[in-house]
Structure formats: structure tokens, C-alpha cells
């Protein structure tokens, strides 16, 4: 079944409404939302009929488009998804879609001959591997790092759209340290990934500082199209994060000269996969190799260093030296104070 552009906009808008658990949606509410979206995106001023939306809902419920959307009517007037995690954006693609996507991948692969598109090679490999796997022609030919259990990944498309369209968000967020979740209005600026976790770089309406929200700690969120959006006036984010490992940084933080001494046995791992773009080798002798990186002192840097265990020594700055010494001492206490589990418990 061929689907025109306006129909796709209607289906996506209905999907957005039913996924929004912050409010209850009557048929009239959905009609009003779809009409507003059609006006904003396509300039259509004639609105949309009740009959059209009812037909769209029936089609989304059916198997004709492969959606099989579990749309239910609650209290005889409110429309909702019976499964709160459902979205038509998660529906599997059909074979004709796969064929089209294969053609697109084929075109993208041609661009790899140009240096400008070098950064696309990883994305193209992912696409091609997933497409061939979906047609059951082969198993995985590439195993890329990922964690399917990470929460918050489903938020990415909607958050990206909010950033693109400069729409404020009402976000209910619960940090690891907080006992209760809190709702605030945020202005979204950037999505950033670090080690399979995603973060939203944003500002709160109540605070002028940049904040980093982990997507897996976002309970719920909704767009606030009638709220004024406050654009970010700081430096370009590529420059903002160029002196940081991970995502933890305030606008006042500046990179510092971090000097690390590695045993030569592990030095090739550091040289072939630098800790940071700023990394340079300072000295090398028979036993050790010393490198320098210019980065902000943050939690992610400490975890990176601690991951090398006894194979690295921090030489500078003094503040980082003392932090790593303290954390290693605390780790050592774990083994001094707690006896190891007996073998019978380990085998249970």
C-alpha cells in the first residue's frame, strides 16, 4: 500500500499523542494536534476531518501497514496505547523497505572513496550488516559494541527532533542521588553518547548553567511548543567538549596537563588507541612510557585511569594524583576488611 506524505505526518502525530502519558487524549484533542502539525509542517489551513483521523486510527490498528497498534479507548472517550512502550516507529520493516535500504547503502558505500566521508564507514557497516541479517541471508558479520539493556534509547528520536526544532521540554528526571523525581522545563541543545550511554546537554529554565541529563534517568518528557525557547549562546559544542573525556564538564572547567606513566608492556595499547586527541608521548625508557593529555579533571578521566590498575602512575597534576591515590587506597581496604567468599558459596 502506497502511503503519501500527509498520511505519514498524521500517523506520526497520532503516535506522538498516544505515547504522551502526561495527558489524556480525546478524539477532538488528537484532531486538533494533527491539524496544528499539518499547518506547521505543510502550511495546510483546512485542518483535518474527524472521519480521516478515525480511519487513520483503524489503519494503525490493522496489519495493512504492519503497525498492529494496540490503540484502546479508555472511559469511552480517551485514546491511548494499551502497551505504554509501543510506538509505530518500532514496527519492523517489510521486504520492499529492506530492498530500498540496500540500494541506499550501496550508494553510501561509493562515497567511502572520498576522504570527506570517512566518518560514515562505521555507520554504513552497521546498516549493511543489519540489512543482510534482517533478510536471513547471513548471521552477524560484524559485532559492534552495544548494550541493548541501556534505558532511554527510545527517547533519542523525539529529543533529536526537539533540538532540531528548538522546542522546550518538560522533563521528569530522577538522578541516581535523588530520592524522588522532579519536573522542570529544559531547553535541549545536544545529544551526546559516551560508552553506550546517551546524555542530553541542556539548560534548565531555573538555572543558567549547562546541565547533563542521562537519558536512562529521564522518567518522562513532553514538548512545550507554547514555551519560549532560549538558545545556547556559548561556544560551539565541538570546541566545548574537545578537552574532555566523557561528558562531565561545567562551563568554567578548563583542560589541564595530565601526565601519565605506563609500563612499556601496556604502552602499545595507549599509543595505538590514544586516551584523547591531545595525547603526545613525552619520554620513553627501558621500563616506561610517559604521555601527556590536556583534559578536564572529571569522573570519567578517573575511571579511565583506574581501569589500567597497577600499570599506570599519575605524575601530574597534584590534585589528580591525590584523588587516584585515595581511590586506590579505598579499593584496597575492600579486600582488607572483607574476607573472601568460601568456595561453597562461589559454586552456588
Query: Which residues on neighbouring strands pair with residue 316, listed in sequence order?
Result: 259
Spatial distance between the Cα atoms of 211 and 102, rounded to a whole number of angstroms: 39
In a domain, 145, yes or no: no
In a domain, 341, yes or no: no
Q: Which domain holds residue 108?
A: 95-134
Q: Are residues 199 and 275 in the same domain?
A: no
- Give the mean pLDDT of the chain: 84
Q: Are residues 115 and 85 in the same domain?
A: no
pLDDT tens-digit map of 118-172: 555 555 566 666 666 655 555 555 565 666 667 778 888 889 989 999 999 999 9
What's the pLDDT score for residue 141?
Answer: 58
Q: Which of 51-65, 88-102, 268-282 has the lowest mean pLDDT?
A: 88-102
Q: Are residues 79 and 15 in the same domain?
A: yes
Q: Are residues 43 and 71 in the same domain?
A: yes
Cell numbers found for residue 210: 549547562
- Percentage of the chain beyond pLDDT 90 is 55
Does the model's pTM come out above 0.75?
Answer: no
Give Cβ neighbours of residue 132 (< 8 Å, ≥ 6 apart): 138, 141
Tally helices (H) and strands (E) across the chain.
Answer: 11, 11
pLDDT tens-digit map of 273-302: 999 999 999 999 999 999 999 999 999 999
* 274 vs 347, residue with greater confidence: 274
Spatial distance between the Cα atoms of 279 and 254, rounded to a whole number of angstroms: 16
Domain count, the chain: 4
- What is the per-residue DSSP string for 56-109? HHHHHHSSSSS----EEEETTTEEEESSTT--GGGSPP-HHHHHHHHHHHHHHH
CA 50 to chain centre: 37
Q: Are residues 81 and 111 in the same domain?
A: no
In a domain, 251, yes or no: no
Instruction: Examine the fold and report which residue of 58, 73, 89 is the final residue of a domain before the chain moves on.
Output: 89
Query: Which residues on neighbouring strands pair with residue 184, listed in sequence order?
Result: 171
In a domain, 249, yes or no: no
Strands, DSSP E only, in 180-285?
Answer: 182-194, 197-204, 210-214, 218-223, 256-263, 280-284
Q: Are residues 330 and 303 in the same domain?
A: yes
Residue 187 near residue 232 (C-beta atoms within 8 A): yes
Q: Are residues 117 and 162 in the same domain?
A: no
Residue 74 near residue 80 (C-beta atoms within 8 A): yes
Which CATH number belongs to the domain containing residue 296 in this structure?
Answer: 3.30.70
Res 345 pLDDT > 70:
no
Strands, DSSP E only, in the chain?
Answer: 71-74, 78-81, 169-173, 182-194, 197-204, 210-214, 218-223, 256-263, 280-284, 288-295, 312-316
Amino acid at each position: 500500500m502506497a502511503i503519501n506524505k500527509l498520511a505519514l505526518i498524521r500517523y506520526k502525530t497520532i503516535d506522538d499523542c498516544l505515547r504522551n502519558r502526561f495527558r489524556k487524549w480525546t478524539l477532538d484533542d488528537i484532531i486538533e494536534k494533527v491539524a496544528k502539525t499539518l499547518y506547521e509542517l505543510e502550511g495546510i489551513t483546512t485542518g483535518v476531518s474527524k472521519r480521516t483521523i478515525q480511519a487513520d486510527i483503524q489503519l494503525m490498528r490493522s496489519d495493512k501497514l504492519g503497525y498492529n497498534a494496540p490503540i484502546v479507548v479508555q472511559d469511552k472517550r480517551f485514546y491511548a496505547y494499551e502497551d505504554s512502550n509501543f510506538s509505530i516507529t518500532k514496527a519492523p520493516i517489510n521486504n520492499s523497505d529492506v530492498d530500498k535500504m540496500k540500494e541506499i547503502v550501496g550508494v553510501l558505500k561509493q562515497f567511502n572513496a572520498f576522504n570527506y566521508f570517512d566518518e560514515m564507514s562505521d555507520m554504513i557497516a552497521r546498516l549493511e550488516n543489519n540489512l543482510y541479517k534482517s533478510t536471513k541471508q547471513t548471521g552477524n558479520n560484524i559485532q559492534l559494541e552495544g548494550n541493548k539493556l541501556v534505558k532511554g534509547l527510545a527517547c533519542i528520536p523525539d529529543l533529536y527532533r526537539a533540538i532540531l526544532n528548538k522546542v522546550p521540554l518538560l522533563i521528569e528526571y530522577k538522578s541516581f542521588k535523588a530520592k524522588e523525581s522532579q519536573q522542570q522545563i529544559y531547553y535541549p541543545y545536544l545529544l551526546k553518547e559516551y560508552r553506550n550511554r546517551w546524555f542530553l546537554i541542556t539548560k534548565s529554565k531555573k538555572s543558567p548553567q549547562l546541565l547533563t541529563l542521562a537519558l536512562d534517568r529521564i522518567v518522562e518528557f513532553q514538548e512545550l511548543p507554547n514555551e519560549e525557547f532560549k538558545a545556547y549562546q556559548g561556544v560551539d559544542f565541538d570546541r566545548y567538549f574537545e578537552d574532555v573525556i566523557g561528558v562531565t564538564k561545567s562551563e568554567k572547567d578548563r583542560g589541564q596537563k595530565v601526565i601519565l606513566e605506563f609500563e612499556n608492556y601496556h604502552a602499545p595499547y595507549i599509543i595505538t588507541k590514544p586516551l584523547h586527541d591531545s595525547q603526545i608521548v613525552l619520554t620513553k625508557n627501558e621500563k616506561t612510557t610517559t604521555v601527556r593529555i590536556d583534559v578536564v579533571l572529571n569522573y570519567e578521566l578517573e575511571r579511565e585511569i583506574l581501569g589500567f590498575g597497577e600499570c599506570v602512575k599519575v605524575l601530574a597534576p597534584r590534585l589528580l594524583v591525590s584523588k587516584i591515590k585515595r581511590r586506590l587506597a579505598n579499593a584496597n581496604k575492600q579486600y582488607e576488611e572483607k574476607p573472601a567468599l568460601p568456595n561453597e558459596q562461589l559454586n552456588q
